[in-house]
DNA sequence: CGCCTTCTTGATGAGCATCAAGATCAGTGG
DNA sequence: CCACTGATCTTGATGCTCATCAAGAAGGCG
């Protein structure tokens, strides 16, 4: 963990760099209120709880030896995260925007209202799918997959706001910010989506069929 | 599953194309003897058991819509595989070489001699690590990781045989056969490994430090 | 020996990273 | 109200890495 903190400093705004609350003994269920960018847990910390998003959004990532950040997953309302192999976290979790979480102490296991194995297997299937996508899809296809993934979380709503920056998306898809921007532009100019609002973060899906075809 | 069989035919020798035994009701523990290339389960089949390798080696892969094969993992002696989210397999498992497996019926759950959650979390951590590697490591680094991974399974033995073909390795690392061959050559000419034997599948690690440095 | 499979090597090109600069916008303070 | 600042996003130019295409080399097996 010698190089870790340097890498962390590169990714966290200075004002938030050490903004990970010490994991303390939790009651079997606790509600957490988080500001944008606030840390939930970090690498090396003892894994003592699992979390469910109530509102807002969370990113979970790992840092590579070279300091590169790779986002493993984004989590939205009702989704679970934080379940860990071994005693200590090997990844980081942060709120992307103002969020509410519910945390469940693992030691309260018998009373947990969830099927841990189910969560784990679900995460595993998802991680495997992402492997396929990242390895063999083009930049444009990956961005299409991402947009579709975000859209599918809001069934029936054709326009929505992306909570995450282009940099987050890039680190999630294994691309650079520039490639992500170019792919968004390509989706826009080919009439598949429309973009507007602060930082072009509002997406309207104009041609869902074409989007689905790309993200296959 | 319309395009699936075409894709399968592309990857399985014709003589083995349909060589997946129907999954039948298993006693709580059964030993399986498999020839090289023989299927263990396939996509769409009901997931009814988990498996432990006794001897030999297994590859587990998924097929993409475009027919591309991506190998999610290789399994060696004592390792577990086949645990599945949902009722049906979404991947394929095959013996790479003559192998012995032990299969455990899932319905015999209370008597299972293993911690399913542990296996699932372990697989999840592994899948996540592979995501990082595949996204941001160069071809040479990925092959170095692979060689080190294989070597680490045989502690204390500096020379070993790779059970899998270059094509398997390519589909595992997200590269082409040619790129894998070139990377092996580079490792050889830079004095990190030595290769010989049938199909250059015998590997001797000459410079473990350099290998480790590459596969970081 | 000839055929097939697997592995290697070479030449070329496509796609994305990288480097650089401009555009847009929110926030800040005169 | 407007200029200034910093963050985020976009666009352009260039080069590197790896995929692709093509062909040769090295076994294994009839």
In the predicted model, what is the mean pLDDT of residues B109-128? 85
Which positions in strand C are less than 7 Å from the protein's CB atoms? Answer: 6-11, 15-20, 25-26
Mean model confidence pLDDT for chain B: 87
Residue A16 has pLDDT above 80, yes or no: no
What H or E segment, with its residue span, contains residue A141? helix A139-152
Q: Inter-chain contact B123–A125, Cβ cutoff 8 Å?
A: no
Nearest residue in chain A measured CA to CA from B128? A127
Residue A88 has pLDDT above 70, yes or no: yes
Residue A187 has pLDDT above 80, yes or no: yes
What local confidence, expressed as pLDDT, does residue B12 receive?
A: 41
What local confidence, expressed as pLDDT, does residue A108 receive?
A: 61
What local confidence, expressed as pLDDT, does residue B25 receive?
A: 43
Q: Is the CB of B175 under 7 A from strand D?
A: yes
Q: How far is CA B17 from CA A156, B13, B94, B101, B216, in A?
A: 42, 6, 11, 21, 38
CA separation for the pair A26, A29 (Å, rounded): 7
In the predicted model, what is the mean pLDDT of residues B39-66? 95
Q: Is the CB of A72 under 7 A from strand D?
A: no
CA separation for the pair A188, A112 (Å, rounded): 45
Lowest mean pLDDT among A170-174, A179-183, B24-28: B24-28
Lowest mean pLDDT among A12-26, A174-188, A193-207, B92-106: A12-26
What local confidence, expressed as pLDDT, does residue B111 receive?
A: 59
Strand D neighbours among A 142-201, CB < 7 A: 165-167, 177-178, 180-182, 184-185, 195, 199-201
Residue A180 has pLDDT above 60, yes or no: yes
Question: How many A×B Cβ pairs under 8 Å?
Answer: 78
Confidence at A11, pLDDT banded by 50, 70, 90: very low
In the predicted model, what is the mean pLDDT of residues A144-152? 97
Name which of B93, B131, B91, B89 is nearest A127 in CA terms: B131
Residue B2 has pLDDT above 60, yes or no: no
What angle in degrees, to the nearest 10, is found between the helix axes of B139-152 and B116-136? 150
> A67 at the B interface (CB within 8 A)?
no
Strand D neighbours among B 186-205, CB < 7 A: 198
Nearest residue in chain B measured CA to CA from A88? B125
Q: What is the pLDDT of residues B122-168, one digit of tens each?
A: 999 999 999 999 999 999 999 999 999 999 999 989 899 999 999 99
Token pair of B9, please?
Answer: 């035919």
Instruction: List the domain boundaries for chain B.
Output: 2-119, 130-214
In the predicted model, what is the mean pLDDT of residues B28-49? 93
What local confidence, expressed as pLDDT, does residue A111 receive?
A: 59
> A120 at the B interface (CB within 8 A)?
yes
- Cβ–Cβ < 8 Å for A26, A48: yes
Distance (Å) from the C-alpha of residue A120 to the closest C-alpha of chain B?
6
CA separation for the pair B11, B107 (Å, rounded): 32
Q: Inter-chain contact A131–B134, Cβ cutoff 8 Å?
A: yes
What local confidence, expressed as pLDDT, does residue B94 receive?
A: 96
Fold for A4-127, please state it: Jelly Rolls (2.60.120)
CA of B56 to C1' of C13 (A): 41
The CATH-assigned architecture of domain A137-214 is Orthogonal Bundle (1.10)
What local confidence, expressed as pLDDT, does residue A29 receive?
A: 83
| CATH (one of 1.10.10.10, 1.10.645.10, 3.40.50.720, 3.40.50.2300) for B130-214 | 1.10.10.10
Residue A34 has pLDDT above 80, yes or no: yes
Nearest to A132 among B62, B85, B117 (CB): B62
Percent of residues, chain A, with pLDDT higher than 90 = 75
CATH 2.40.440.10 assigned to B2-119: no
Q: Is B206 exposed, middle or buried (0-12, 13-18, 19+ CB in 10 A)?
A: middle
Residue with the two structure tokens 């349909």: B18
Distance (Å) from the C-alpha of residue B69 to the closest C-alpha of chain A?
9
Confidence at B114, pLDDT banded by 50, 70, 90: confident
What local confidence, expressed as pLDDT, does residue B20 receive?
A: 41
Residue A194 has pLDDT above 60, yes or no: yes
- Cβ–Cβ < 8 Å for A176, A170: yes
Which positions in strand D are less than 7 Å from the protein's CB atoms? Answer: 8-13, 17-22, 27-28
- Cβ–Cβ < 8 Å for B39, B32: no
What local confidence, expressed as pLDDT, does residue A10 receive?
A: 43
Nearest residue in chain B measured CA to CA from A65? B216
- Cβ–Cβ < 8 Å for A203, A162: yes
Scanning chain B, the segments in alpha helix (DSSP H) are 2-11, 116-136, 139-152, 166-173, 177-189, 208-214
CA separation for the pair A156, B198 (Å, rounded): 58
CA separation for the pair B73, B76 (Å, rounded): 10
Q: Inter-chain contact A135–B134, Cβ cutoff 8 Å?
A: yes
What local confidence, expressed as pLDDT, does residue B106 receive?
A: 80
Residue B23 has pLDDT above 60, yes or no: no
Q: What is the pLDDT of residues B64-109, one digit of tens each?
A: 998 999 999 999 999 999 999 999 999 999 999 999 999 998 876 5
- Cβ–Cβ < 8 Å for B194, B206: yes
Confidence at B183, pLDDT banded by 50, 70, 90: very high
Q: What is the pLDDT of residues A105-144, one digit of tens each?
A: 887 656 566 789 999 999 999 999 999 999 999 999 999 9
What local confidence, expressed as pLDDT, does residue A109 receive?
A: 57
Residue B9 has pLDDT above 60, yes or no: no
């Amino acid at each position: 963990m010698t190089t870790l903190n340097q890498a962390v400093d590169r990714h966290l705004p200075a004002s938030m760099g050490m903004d990970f609350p010490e994991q303390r003994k939790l009651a079997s269920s606790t509600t957490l209120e988080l500001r944008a960018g606030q840390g939930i847990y970090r690498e090396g910390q003892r894994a003592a709880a699992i979390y469910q998003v109530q509102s807002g959004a969370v990113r979970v990532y790992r840092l590579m030896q070279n300091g590169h950040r790779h986002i493993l997953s984004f989590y939205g309302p009702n989704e679970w995260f934080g379940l860990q192999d071994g005693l200590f976290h090997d990844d980081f979790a942060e709120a992307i925007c103002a969020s509410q979480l519910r945390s469940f102490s693992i030691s309260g296991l018998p009373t947990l209202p969830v099927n841990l194995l189910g969560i784990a297997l679900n995460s595993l299937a998802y991680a495997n799918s992402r492997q396929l996508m990242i390895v063999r899809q083009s930049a444009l296809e990956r961005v299409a997959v991402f947009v579709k993934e975000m859209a599918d979380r809001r069934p029936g709503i054709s326009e929505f706001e992306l909570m995450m920056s282009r940099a987050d998306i890039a680190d999630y898809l294994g691309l650079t910010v520039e490639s992500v921007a170019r792919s968004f532009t390509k989706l826009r100019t080919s009439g598949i989506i429309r973009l507007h609002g602060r930082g072009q973060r509002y997406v309207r899906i104009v041609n869902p069929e074409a989007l689905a075809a790309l993200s296959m």
